[in-house]
Amino acid sequence: MAVSKMLVGGEWVASSSEATISVVSPFTGKQIGEVPKGDREDIRKAIDAAREAFDKGPWPRMPARARGDVYLKAAQLLQQRASAIAELESRNQGKTIKQAADVDIPSSIDNLVFYAGAVRTLDAKSPQEFLGDGTTIFRREPVGVVGSITPWNYPFMMAVWKIGPALVTGNTVVLKPASWTPLSTLELAKAFIDAGLPTGVLNVVTGPGEEVGNELCVNPKVDMVSLTGDTATGRKIMESASSTVKRVQLELGGKAPFVVFEDADIPAAVEGAIVGGYVNGGQDCTAATRLILHQSVREKFERGLLDRVKQIRVGDPMSRSTDLGPLVHASHQKKVLDWVETGKREGAKLRVGGAEPGGKLRAGAFVNATVFDQVAPDMKIAQHEIFGPVLDVIEFEKFDEAIDIANGVEYGLAGSVWTQNVRTAMRAANAIRFGDVWVNDHLPIGSETPHGGFKQSGFGKDLGVDSLNDYTVVKNMYIDLTGLARKGWHYTVYGDPS
Ligand code: NAD
């Protein structure tokens, strides 16, 4: 069992109360680790350390290239430790080992390598004499102390998406991981410390959101708070951050539309729906949960879909041949199963799944791959994020109707359109209001591609050079070139023109 400490001011420490949180495997239901249950006193110490490191320490004053070098070293260490971290992630979160080892960990390491270079490309507008007698320079500077709050669905990857752009631009960070899945984040922090990150630049405090996370939002020594999490949590965070007028960056929930037009390549769309819908057990903010199908192809698509669902292999996430592991936690499993009941009550037709597999998998937090059809766009199961392996089939007749259904949710994170007609593709992709839009695929995101929501999916970007902008502020500097005591415009305040 892993007994871990948290990172505060360069020290690995227990919580001041000595309380702990037990970390459980969602596959076995058994405890696999223990982390400190940080409280307000602990998070304040971490914030003080980050403040001191920002105000007095070397990190924000280092050349971007030197910060990038620490990233490259951390990336190298993580590469050496990648398979152990992937195993830890899979055991703790329940995601399949093939996803953790082949996608989550390597793509996150690539994010760090990208940031090491990208930070050196940050440009400012060329200095100019905009105002005549002086030169104006726009400097891009770090925001300061950043509070980062991460979710449980991609623990390692989300921690990298948060601290990646924040630290490289010279900020200091206090990170709070989700309490169910803290283990891989502590490994990430270890790699940064081993790579030579100066004291206090990165702090990780494990503990409950309402106490530890909230302090990051209200503490006046924190300049910015960034959350990846539920839209309801985003609302609370905006509200608490308002008392100190903090910058806020929010990457929130989604309910992705997956629109299949009458001329789409149906076998390709079926593959896309299986992969896009059930990725990470459906615990993915971009998951293709609303299958919006033209009435002329609905039957063929659904036949293909149900056939493929039968082939999904549910089981031990540590086995390379498992496609669908357990959900993150037994209480989340219950929530997802409650959504299935809601769908049935609302009159949607359950075509497959909707229950635990039972048998040998009884101890795990499993929900079988589920498909509802005859779903109306305004049903609760079509409006709210279920965050499990549950897909809704919704039928449409006309192009405009498809667009209205796609846009008819509070979310705006990601969506895809499926058609072989370039005009339909462009018209639909332009018309749907989502931050990531794919044509004839669903999910691809990389280090270079800015990812973030429209509407109540939040604002700001993770990944890409845009994320570096979120973590920097522009300072406008003016240098007088005249050397005159009395400048030509002074008479507008007092005296007469000379
Ligand atoms: P959550 O909102 O329950 O928790 C996220 C984090 O916020 C956790 O660390 C939690 O402890 C903390 N928190 C909770 N209440 C808080 C409060 N009052 N003040 C401060 N912090 C608080 O989300 P989750 O269930 O861990 O993750 C799933 C959610 O994350 C889904 O809605 C999903 O769509 C979203 N998500 C979004 C993206 C994206 O890129 N937009 C990516 C991944 C996940």
Q: How confident is the model at residue 125 (pLDDT cuts 50, 70, 90)?
A: confident
Q: How far apart are CA 429 and CA 436, in angstroms?
A: 10
CA of 230 to the centre of ligand 1 (A): 4
Q: For the chain, give me the number of helices (H) and strands (E)?
A: 15, 20
Is 369 within 8 Å of 336 (Cβ atoms)? Answer: no
For ligand 1, is residue 385 a contact (CB within 6 Å)? yes
pLDDT at 142: 98
Is 257-439 assigned to CATH 3.20.20.80? no
Instruction: Tell the residue nearest (CA) to atom 28 of ligand 1.
Output: 229
For ligand 1, is residue 171 a contact (CB within 6 Å)? no
Bridge partner residues of 425 (DSSP): none
Is 178 within 8 Å of 150 (Cβ atoms)? Answer: yes
Identified catalytic residue from 89, 187, 217, 285: 285
The tens digit of pLDDT for each residue in 78-108 reads: 999 999 999 999 999 999 999 999 999 999 9
217 an active-site residue?
Answer: no
Is the pTM of the predicted complex or chain greater than 0.95? yes
Q: How far apart are CA 288 and CA 298, in angstroms?
A: 16
For ligand 1, is residue 153 a contact (CB within 6 Å)? yes
The tens digit of pLDDT for each residue in 141-182 reads: 999 999 999 999 999 999 999 999 999 999 999 999 999 999
CA of 311 to the centre of ligand 1 (A): 31
- Kindly state the percentage of the chain with pLDDT values over 70: 100
Averaged confidence pLDDT in the chain: 97
Which of 104, 111, 146, 149 best tests ligand 1's pocket when mutated (most atoms within 8 Å of CB)? 149
Which of 160, 228, 454, 459 best tests ligand 1's pocket when mutated (most atoms within 8 Å of CB)? 228
Order across the sheet with 390-396: list the strands: 349-352, 370-373, 390-396, 290-294, 257-260, 414-418, 436-439
The tens digit of pLDDT for each residue in 223-253 reads: 999 999 999 999 999 999 999 999 999 999 9
Instruction: Tell the residue nearest (CA) to atom 42 of ligand 1.
Output: 285
Per DSSP, the residues of 102-152 read: IIIHHHHHHHHHHHHHHGGG---PPPB-TTSSEEEEEEEEE-SEEEEE--S
Q: How far apart are CA 349 and CA 217, in angstroms?
A: 43
Break the chain into its structural domains and give their ranges: 2-252+453-477, 257-439
Instruction: Tell the residue nearest (CA) to atom 41 of ligand 1.
Output: 251
285 an active-site residue?
Answer: yes
End-to-end CA distance of the chain: 81
Identified catalytic residue from 251, 302, 385, 395: 251
The tens digit of pLDDT for each residue in 29-82 reads: 999 999 999 999 999 999 999 999 999 999 999 999 999 999 999 999 999 999
pLDDT at 225: 98
pLDDT at 127: 87
- Residues 6 or more apart in contact with residue 174 via CB below 8 angstroms: 43, 46, 47, 50, 145, 146, 147, 148, 203, 204, 205, 216, 222
Q: How confident is the model at residue 123 (pLDDT cuts 50, 70, 90)?
A: confident
- Kindly state the percentage of the chain with pLDDT values over 90: 98
Residues in the chain, overall count:
498
The reply to whether domains 2-252+453-477 and 257-439 share a CATH topology is: no
For ligand 1, is residue 434 a contact (CB within 6 Å)? no
Which of 153, 226, 390 best tests ligand 1's pocket when mutated (most atoms within 8 Å of CB)? 153
Per DSSP, the residues of 34-53 read: EEE---HHHHHHHHHHHHHH
For ligand 1, is residue 170 a contact (CB within 6 Å)? no
Is 2-252+453-477 assigned to CATH 3.40.605.10? yes
- Region 192-199: what's the mean pLDDT? 98
Neighbours of 492 (CB within 10 A): 8
Amino acid type, 313: R
